[in-house]
Amino acid sequence: MVNDPSGAGLTSRRARDRLVRILEQQGIRDRRVLEAIRSVPRHLFVEEALSHRAYENIALPIGHRQTISQPFIVARMTEALLEAGPMSTVLEIGTGSGYQAAVLAQLVDRVFSIERIQALSRSARELLSRLGINNVNLRHGDGAEGWPERAPYDGIILTAAPRDVPETLLTQLAPGGRLVAPVEGPDGRQQLVRYTRTDDAYVRDILDAVMFVPMLSGAEQ
């Protein structure tokens, strides 16, 4: 699993256990997802001044006007992605701090993740390597284009909300693959949706109401 170079493992152990209990109470059932959340040191993925709040079930700032998602949402999306069975490759749009990628890295063979803000992509790369997580590949760019060279993916997860899921991303799903994304509704509210690719169509189901930063177009230096 993850090695924690900060040595904060002992002090945060109780806080992590408490977070996992809260997620269970909120309906997360998948033991593997709960264990992944317990093992990834979230305090290293948030701004240092806020690390004491890292095991609360809240979104926190990560700089560049972006946030690390609430642990419940990370768990919920991961569970929704993996519900039908194990996956080998997953593509994430919106690396941010790298936390969601680190959680996925515990559960699938290989994670590909795209981030449009170069500074975030760079610090996520440093942190993941420091943690010894080496099955995550990062790219700086516009996630709307996906990562066609490594397609198809068993799973695709968006951690920023588009108005509509880009068609290009759906085409990069393997047959039987699943895409989970927050999508902007007409009334400014967002919904978590899941697409499952069948042999000749995409089945769409709506999961929960959510709140994510918008998906923006183009990459930023």
- Point out the residues that are catalytic: 69
CB 164 within 8 A of CB 156: no
Q: Which is nearer to ligand SAH, 46 or 200 (CB)?
A: 46
CA dihedral 87, 117, 127, 192 (to 10 degrees): -40
Asked if 114 interacts with ligand SAH (CB under 6 A), we say yes
Question: Other C-beta atoms within 10 Å of 148: how many?
Answer: 10
Asked if 37 interacts with ligand SAH (CB under 6 A), we say no
- Separation CA 35–CA 44 (nearest Å): 17
Asked if 71 interacts with ligand SAH (CB under 6 A), we say no
CA separation, residue 10 to residues 23, 34, 53, 137 (Å): 21, 18, 16, 29
Closest CB 218 distance from ligand SAH, rounded Å: 7
Stretch that binds ligand SAH, among 27-35, 64-72, 175-183, 185-193 (CB under 6 A): 64-72
Backbone angles phi, psi at 164, to 5 degrees: -135, 150
Closest CB 27 distance from ligand SAH, rounded Å: 20
Q: Which is nearer to ligand SAH, 72 or 99 (CB)?
A: 99
Closest CB 53 distance from ligand SAH, rounded Å: 15
Residues that bind ligand SAH (CB under 6 A): 62, 66-69, 93-94, 96-97, 99-100, 114-117, 120, 142-144, 159-160, 213, 215-217
